[in-house]
Chains A and B, each alone.
Chain A
């Protein structure tokens, strides 16, 4: 398809909207930075407005691009020798939908932030980085080129670092942002190696061009596993997931954005985008990694006390499910879950933020101090925060995968895909299926526990507080997201996942999921019953609370030795290298002094001596010049006589 055809197939309005969707977040970033301190309040109007415009543009793009040939636009980026690097945009169904979801969630988070972040001192930086974060993510979504994706991938890493560490005056936030950044770098190193491998074998980074190339499977296994390293880092898979719970130190809207739309989903999206690169062997690794992550995340969520940490581990677990689905060769299912998850997880986070915000406000008024995020101190908030309660229940139901909610559909799709996969492949595939089933069971347990602990029972620490619902700017986004968590948007039939999205975001396979849906619904309801029955029990496991000690392990086994090594090299540097330098410096000074002395005493002395000799010779030859002519004549005659005698003898 030539560019001209592309232009004909896509109107200029479409191109403008696409450009707008991409450029407006960047514009928001720039404007927010250049607004003066005095007008920093303007950013909280400007940034959401621009984001809204971007969302509208993205909606237009989605509408026009849906079920149309992919829009491609390509330019030569740079050339080295005879290799030309292109940069371009590729918009197909999946990326158009992702574009809309990212801008939409981002817009809602922006609006929510107006209320949540009101009065923050660094509002401009906050909104600027929010815009930049969104822009970077959009870059990943629409790029047609792995190298370009990598560039935006790194920008996402950078902006997440800025946002997690937004309250950089808190040591924990600074530490968390640093950890997130560094752990992501570990994965990105693998990504980079993967890119090199791809280039070496394909001589192009263009995804569509790579799709058409015959590639060596052995090398592609290596390359795709390396790229998967990047995904593991970005999407918080085992074993590089520890940054995700830590990242809860950031502002809650940022957490919502990270978990729903802009950061962790990037890895899953990349898996979908570059799915063809993955060989069966590599996919097995992906599936197993995903399953392990899902299991770890689910169980860790079960015994967390921090409201946001529960959600963080749940995200990790859900991401594991998506990755497992990818590994099982069902990118459509994974992407469907990605989209549904984006909405209900964003809603969950915003609701959690709403609780935190409301309790903080209340604490301010009554001067009571306790950790508002610790669910053990909460309870019975159903009456004080009815709206939030409803939001939490709706989005929590979606997370748990209850029927009639979006989560049920997408989880169904994943389970159906896994069932199909288990039927066709090796025996151990069943293990993965069982793990995923177990995860969905546990998901219900921890979600129920979370909702029950916060909203039911008797009020504990909050009893004396006067708590009021957050303002409309915060409630409205929650409402929109909760609304988006019901099944209707994804498929007409609440028990069939093969709706308009699932069938068109990829080469969809119909797994005839009727049986799976029924079994899944029964399974979830059973889990709900178990959860209700065991609602009073407390699962106090240090292993689970600490996230299976992976963090501790990485600290002890990797960080500490690394730091010790660093300390060792530092000391070696100080002692030996610096010592050597000092010694050479001293030696130099000594040599300089010696040469200086030599210069003064010997060279200068020699010169002075020569000059002195010359002068003394001069004064000797001159001494005959006494001024008396008799003496002159005497000396002359004397000299001549001496001369004659000397010559003759």
Chain B
């Protein structure tokens, strides 16, 4: 037992590895206060929020080398390492992009200070979640994300939005409850909240009991809820359809990646290097297959672009889970690569869905003929969809290739048939996804519409979109650069 002074000392030193989160925390307060002062100037709060995210991002990058050696913070409540740092960088960038997208909305944003503060809170929660290695911290940060998300989901202030928001809240509450229930069992079974601690794993191996499986399954339910994996996905389409598009873009990336980060850590512990009694690989593979199937096949039926993207998000969770289900070090690396490509592709798509939504196109049919008039937005949107489908020449293809390569390696190692099934389902679903992802480009380029509009190609969207498109193409043509960076990440507990 450490002395109080030592604890105080370690807490003080912990702040050194906590700077981005401190910046974010301070930022939330400043944004709220600024909102009180500049009530009518959403630009200022937006700028402030962007600055906060940028500062956080810069600090992450500054401390990048320091993260290379993992260390526990605040009595091992959190863990500072390059894995979480990488995810945090993506999260920060996503936050920045969300702010940019929000500012493009011509409608004056109500409660702008609250909006940006909530955004920053989700970012902070995501930061904490990917760093957590204590069950309590996991729950706290997860709830931090969740509660803010519930509010953000209703930020369109429509009846529809409120309904979606409420559904999200109720469903989230149930899954949180289940997770908390599971956590309590785990604590009872192992006697520690720190799931990275050796005794946690030892207890798992030494005391196999069905109760333990039930507890862990309940705990995973919370994560699956957060990453929108089946069967905890029913909230997704309603929320995606009703929430403001920047928020949807945000949801599609930030909570998902954060959940994935902690899920990767947690399942690795559960698997206990293959010594676990229960086959968690089986569970993850089953969830991945279910997510892929439910997401892709349901998406085929959708007529609303955002709802379609909701199911796509479910399916993408399935693909992301593949990286974890491989239970291999390179699987995690490939997961990070795929996550990066996914984030970029997803933002391209939402950026232009938002653009077209502002022009009044939200159903798939309404996109007919837009490719003739809005050529570059449609082309960029097409590239984004191609990346999400996983076709060359985009980073999505490279990511999928990597992730299935690692899955194949896993199959070679374990020889489990469920892994092979996941492989087969994943590839089949890639084909299925082609059909709905290319429906909007199909309407845009093949069908004739009656749009007469003069377009200005020099818009902020196009500049940002071009940047992202170049990025996604770069990930295909030179994946070595990013992979080299990712490969330096040491994912060991």
Q: Which residues of A contact B (CB under 8 A)?
A: 614-615, 617-622, 624-625, 627, 629, 632-633, 635-637, 639-640, 643-644, 647-648
Given contacts A629-B167, A647-B278, A647-B283, contact A640 B301 (CB under 8 A): no
Question: Among the listed A618, A629, A639, A647, which residue makes an inter-chain contact with B166, where contact means beta carbons less than 8 Å apart?
Answer: A629
A559 to B445, CA, bound (A): 71
A636 touches B174 (CB 8 A): yes
A112 to B296, CA, bound (A): 99
Q: Is the interface of A mostly helix, strand, loop or mixed?
A: helix
A625 to B378, CA, bound (A): 31
Question: Among the listed A619, A629, A644, which residue makes an inter-chain contact with B217, where contact means beta carbons less than 8 Å apart?
Answer: A644
- A637 to chain B minimum Cβ distance, whole angstroms, is 8
Given contacts A640-B178, A643-B283, contact A633 B298 (CB under 8 A): no
- A504 to chain B minimum Cβ distance, whole angstroms, is 92
- Nearest first, the 6 A-B pairs at minimum CB distance are A639-B231, A618-B297, A632-B234, A621-B294, A617-B297, A622-B298
A632 touches B235 (CB 8 A): yes
Nearest residue (CB) in A for B230 is A639
* Chain B 163-194 interface mask (CB, 8 Å, partner A; 1/0): 00011001100110010000000000000000
- 8 A-B pairs, CB-CB below 8 angstroms? A615-B297, A615-B301, A629-B167, A636-B175, A640-B221, A648-B210, A648-B213, A648-B214
A617 to B429, CA, bound (A): 12
- A616 to chain B minimum Cβ distance, whole angstroms, is 9
- B100 to chain A minimum Cβ distance, whole angstroms, is 32
Given contacts A640-B178, A643-B283, A648-B213, contact A629 B298 (CB under 8 A): no
On chain A, the residues within 8 Å of B283 by CB distance are 643, 647
Given contacts A618-B299, A618-B300, A629-B167, contact A640 B235 (CB under 8 A): no
A633 to B435, CA, bound (A): 30
A648 to B299, CA, bound (A): 32
Question: Among the listed A622, A624, A633, A635, which residue makes an inter-chain contact with B170, where contact means beta carbons less than 8 Å apart?
Answer: A633
Nearest residue (CB) in A for B234 is A632
A617 to B293, CA, bound (A): 8
A339 to B170, CA, bound (A): 127
On chain A, the residues within 8 Å of B48 by CB distance are none
- A560 to chain B minimum Cβ distance, whole angstroms, is 69
On chain B, the residues within 8 Å of A618 by CB distance are 297-301
**B237 contacts partner chain A, Cβ-Cβ < 8 Å:** yes
Given contacts A614-B432, A618-B297, A618-B301, contact A633 B174 (CB under 8 A): yes
- A606 to chain B minimum Cβ distance, whole angstroms, is 14
**B368 contacts partner chain A, Cβ-Cβ < 8 Å:** no
B171 touches A632 (CB 8 A): yes
Nearest residue (CB) in B for A649 is B210
B234 touches A621 (CB 8 A): no
Given contacts A614-B432, A621-B294, A647-B278, contact A636 B214 (CB under 8 A): no
On chain A, the residues within 8 Å of B213 by CB distance are 644, 647-648
A584 to B376, CA, bound (A): 53
Question: Among the listed A620, A635, A640, which residue makes an inter-chain contact with B234, where contact means beta carbons less than 8 Å apart?
Answer: A635
Interface residue tally of chain B, by bracket? 20 to 34
**B34 contacts partner chain A, Cβ-Cβ < 8 Å:** no
A637 to B300, CA, bound (A): 25
- B294 to chain A minimum Cβ distance, whole angstroms, is 4
- B235 to chain A minimum Cβ distance, whole angstroms, is 7
* Chain B 34-59 interface mask (CB, 8 Å, partner A; 1/0): 00000000000000000000000000
Nearest residue (CB) in B for A630 is B170
**B353 contacts partner chain A, Cβ-Cβ < 8 Å:** no
A637 to B213, CA, bound (A): 15
Nearest residue (CB) in A for B214 is A644
Given contacts A629-B167, A648-B210, A648-B213, contact A643 B237 (CB under 8 A): no
A65 to B432, CA, bound (A): 96
**B137 contacts partner chain A, Cβ-Cβ < 8 Å:** no
**B155 contacts partner chain A, Cβ-Cβ < 8 Å:** no
B238 touches A640 (CB 8 A): no
Nearest residue (CB) in B for A618 is B297
Question: Among the listed B218, B237, B432, which residue makes an inter-chain contact with A640, where contact means beta carbons less than 8 Å apart?
Answer: B218
Question: Among the listed B171, B238, B278, B282, which residue makes an inter-chain contact with A633, where contact means beta carbons less than 8 Å apart?
Answer: B171
Given contacts A615-B300, A644-B217, contact A632 B167 (CB under 8 A): yes
A639 to B235, CA, bound (A): 15
- B241 to chain A minimum Cβ distance, whole angstroms, is 11
**B289 contacts partner chain A, Cβ-Cβ < 8 Å:** no
Nearest residue (CB) in A for B210 is A648
Nearest residue (CB) in A for B297 is A618
**B321 contacts partner chain A, Cβ-Cβ < 8 Å:** no
Nearest residue (CB) in B for A640 is B221
* Chain B 202-219 interface mask (CB, 8 Å, partner A; 1/0): 000000001001100110
**B153 contacts partner chain A, Cβ-Cβ < 8 Å:** no
- B313 to chain A minimum Cβ distance, whole angstroms, is 14
On chain A, the residues within 8 Å of B279 by CB distance are 647
On chain A, the residues within 8 Å of B282 by CB distance are 647
**B286 contacts partner chain A, Cβ-Cβ < 8 Å:** yes
**B232 contacts partner chain A, Cβ-Cβ < 8 Å:** yes
- A471 to chain B minimum Cβ distance, whole angstroms, is 83
- A247 to chain B minimum Cβ distance, whole angstroms, is 73
Q: Which of B167, B231, B293, B294 has the most CB of A within 10 A?
A: B231
A636 to B294, CA, bound (A): 13
- B167 to chain A minimum Cβ distance, whole angstroms, is 5
B231 touches A635 (CB 8 A): yes
A625 touches B217 (CB 8 A): no
A640 touches B217 (CB 8 A): yes
10 extra interface residue pairs, beta carbon distance < 8 Å, beyond A621-B293, A629-B170, A635-B231? A614-B432, A615-B297, A618-B299, A618-B300, A621-B294, A622-B301, A633-B170, A636-B221, A643-B217, A647-B283
On chain B, the residues within 8 Å of A632 by CB distance are 167, 171, 234-235
Q: Which of A615, A617, A621, A632 has the most CB of B within 10 A?
A: A621
* Chain B 258-294 interface mask (CB, 8 Å, partner A; 1/0): 0000000000000000000011001100100000011
